[in-house]
Structure 1
Amino acid sequence: MRIYKFKRPTLIDDIKSAILTALLKNKHKKNSITLKHNTIYVLPSTLGVYFSVVASLNFVMGINYQNNLILFMAYLMFVIIIFALLLGYSNARGLTVSFKYAIDSFAPQTPQLVWQIEADDPCQSITLSYPKDLKNACYITRVKNEVIKCQLSLPYTKRGCYKLKPIKIASNYPFGLVSVWSYIQPNKAVYVYPSIIKTTNQKHQNLVANNTDEGTEKHKGDDEFESLITHLPEMGLQRISWKHYAKTQQLLVKQFSDFKSADAQFDFNLVTGDTEQRLGQLCFLVCQAFESDINYSLKLPNKLITTNSGKLHHQRCLQALSQVGNDNE
């Protein structure tokens, strides 16, 4: 028996996405937003819709049965829902939400966004949520004359680079009868780096270990005496060891060495395993080289990052590793 699987229609989602894109325009695409009349949206919540339906039924019953008590209850319920709409708008107005920075992660950990929230007037029951990820939403009970920082986890666990979608700022204050919301969409991408896998490539391990333990590689120079070699005709007389000549009657020349850190080279083709395993091993090597403060380069199938060191170089290498063969949203 053949079982057919039908995909969920995406027409409604496409319509919602188009409306949201047209709605956002440029007034929500920023790193900081202060909620005001042109960036706040207010509608009855699901509970508010049911409440309004009951009020309407009471109104119809009161007219049909000419019952003043039922009519009074209907009017009172309408007043409550209108009052809730006005109070919900007033509660959110003046709230400032600012994006501070993103915390990238290593798979399968999720990246996070750090936010700063402040308001001059009391603001109740605020929620920050990412699309289709309410379980990781950030809930704030009350904001008043203070700066609150919160972290919002994103639903990304696979390696890649992800451009941020609109983050929803919402409140159901008061009574849960209304939905007051707005959006903020920072122009920022977050990265999920490959999982760190200890490499089995002995060449790479030795290279990093030698730099970590000894931290030096010998090069011909003038820093430190290393050995004596036989004098050749083309050599000058400046470095002849006259002390040894006096003892042995042989012309010996002093050879010096300076000591410089060796540059590590990490190559995608020199590690083993499938793509994810190779990237995980390279990620391990890059992190180890960064901790050892040595110069290193990274060679990937579609990119070459030249030799350098430091935090920015480390971040650049990790970002390149996260994007190998990936075209994430």
Structure 2
Amino acid sequence: MRSTIARIFYRFVGGRTTIPVTLGLRNVYILPTGYGVTYLVVLGAMLIGSINYNNNLGFLLTFLLGSLGLTAMMHTYSMLYGLRLESATAMPVSAGQPLEVEITVAGTDRQRTDLRWYFTTDNPVRADFRPQEQSRVRVCVSTRHRGLLDPGWLRIVCVYPLGLFQAWARISTGIQGLVYPRPLAAPLPAAQTLSAQGAGDIPLAAGVDDFQGLSTYQPGDPPRRIHWQAYSRGRGLHTKTFAGQAGEGLILDMEHIKGDDVERKLAIVCFHVLQNYHQRRSFGLNLAGKIISIGVGRVHRDRCLRALALFGKR
């Protein structure tokens, strides 16, 4: 019942709630905390007592404390008001590891103190922001299973400075984090699950494995492969070239792993994908008929891990 009322409230009263967004009147809310309710009750009792006994000092103290509470409420609300959230990103992780969602916050016009960010109350992140400085906040989400993970609603909460009022905003990041299977170290029968492709000597081809030499720079070559040391010595621009294995490699076939537990098979294949990547060996995948051709390098590894994460998912 309570969640239904909350959804109706946010639907008809709330403003824009998807990043990028600037927090304002329609998406920042504020209510008294437990201490705030007690504070208001005491103020009410003091006001009634002052009226009953016509006590001027009582009126003075009541209005002084009331103005203090009102000022605190305005400061609490201003900590969120005008905050600009520009983007949200999440790097892939293995199941069981926390998924880090990185929120980019634009430079603010004033100091913002003691903002708490969380998707679940189990792992809040506290952050302060200085004026005119772009900041990044990393908020963690627990992961259990592989696939695409929707982190849910991001909540930004502030009770600064006195804890009498709580201002909050509920924002959708608009992203889905990729969760790989948790690697499981288990042997693969080489005769069944790993098969060679091609024959004879493995030819060298352009790749990312071993340094092969320098070649003259050509327009369009990646800057990260330019040999800057040679350039600094006055030898001109040269590009580093690498050699990788092509035409032969290993096929990791999950169907040859014994057992009916698909998740266990995927976890074992995931372990061997990472192992072959670190050993700079060429490999490919066969996932129930879905073939990923043999390759090397980080891009190929990420493609294979993504296929494992999304296997059987819609």
Query: Which bracket does the TM-score occupy, shorter chain normalised?
Result: 0.7 to 0.9
* 2:99 matches 1:111: yes
Equivalent residue pairs, number: 269
Give the match for residue 16 of structure 1.
6
Assess, with a 3 A threshold, how the Cα gap between structure 1 residues 79 and 278 changes in structure 2: closer, same or farther. Answer: same
* 2:200 matches 1:218: yes
- Contact kept? 1:105, 1:191, Cα under 8 Å: yes
- Contact kept? 1:95, 1:123, Cα under 8 Å: no
Give the match for residue 236 of structure 1.
none
Partner-residue secondary structure (3-state), 2:200: strand
Given residue 178 of structure 2, which amino acid in structure 1 is its aligned partner? Y
- Contact kept? 1:199, 1:205, Cα under 8 Å: no
Structure 2 counterparts to residues 227-238 of structure 1, below 5 A: none
Partner-residue secondary structure (3-state), 2:121: strand
Assess, with a 3 A threshold, how the Cα gap between structure 1 residues 33 and 205 changes in structure 2: closer, same or farther. Answer: farther
CA distance in 2, matches of 1:262, 1:220: 6
Structure 2 counterparts to residues 161-176 of structure 1, below 5 A: 161-176=148-163
Given residue 136 of structure 2, which amino acid in structure 1 is its aligned partner? K
Partner-residue secondary structure (3-state), 2:156: strand
Give the match for residue 235 of structure 2.
none
CA distance in 1, matches of 2:294, 2:25: 50
- Contact kept? 1:111, 1:190, Cα under 8 Å: yes
- Contact kept? 2:88, 2:173, Cα under 8 Å: no
Assess, with a 3 A threshold, how the Cα gap between structure 1 residues 17 and 308 changes in structure 2: closer, same or farther. Answer: farther
Partner-residue secondary structure (3-state), 1:261: coil
Partner-residue secondary structure (3-state), 1:135: coil
Assess, with a 3 A threshold, how the Cα gap between structure 1 residues 320 and 16 changes in structure 2: closer, same or farther. Answer: farther
Deviation for aligned residue 1:138: 1.2
- Over the matched positions of the two proteins, sequence identity in percent amounts to 22
Partner-residue secondary structure (3-state), 2:185: coil
Aligned match of 1:71 in 55, 59, 65?
Answer: 59
- Contact kept? 2:141, 2:151, Cα under 8 Å: no
Deviation for aligned residue 1:49: 1.9
**TM norm structure 1:** 0.70
Give the match for residue 146 of structure 1.
133
Aligned match of 2:256 in 250, 257, 270?
Answer: 270
Assess, with a 3 A threshold, how the Cα gap between structure 1 residues 275 and 18 changes in structure 2: closer, same or farther. Answer: farther
Give the match for residue 57 of structure 1.
45
Larger radius of gyration: 1
Given residue 113 of structure 2, which amino acid in structure 1 is its aligned partner? Q
Deviation for aligned residue 1:206: 8.0
Q: Which moved more, 1:197-206 or 1:39-48?
A: 197-206
Given residue 270 of structure 1, which amino acid in structure 2 is its aligned partner? H
Structure 2 counterparts to residues 225-304 of structure 1, below 5 A: 260-273=246-259, 274-291=261-278, 292=280, 294-300=282-288, 304=290
CA distance in 2, matches of 1:144, 1:128: 19
* 2:292 matches 1:306: yes
* 2:124 matches 1:124: no
CA distance in 2, matches of 1:38, 1:69: 40
Deviation for aligned residue 1:24: 5.2
CA distance in 1, matches of 2:284, 2:141: 31
Partner-residue secondary structure (3-state), 1:150: strand
Deviations 1:293-322 (A, max 9, x none): 52513314xx72432545444334323323
CA distance in 2, matches of 1:287, 1:111: 19
Deviation for aligned residue 1:29: 1.3
* 2:167 matches 1:180: yes
Q: Which runs of 5+ in 1 are unaligned?
A: 1-10, 222-258
CA distance in 1, matches of 2:161, 2:282: 58
Partner-residue secondary structure (3-state), 1:175: coil
Deviation for aligned residue 1:73: 2.4
CA distance in 2, matches of 1:12, 1:315: 42
Given residue 114 of structure 1, which amino acid in structure 2 is its aligned partner? E
Q: Which runs of 5+ in 2 are unaligned?
A: 204-244
Deviation for aligned residue 1:113: 0.9
Assess, with a 3 A threshold, how the Cα gap between structure 1 residues 95 and 205 changes in structure 2: closer, same or farther. Answer: farther
Given residue 63 of structure 1, which amino acid in structure 2 is its aligned partner? I
CA distance in 2, matches of 1:24, 1:308: 51
* 2:302 matches 1:315: yes
- Contact kept? 2:96, 2:142, Cα under 8 Å: no
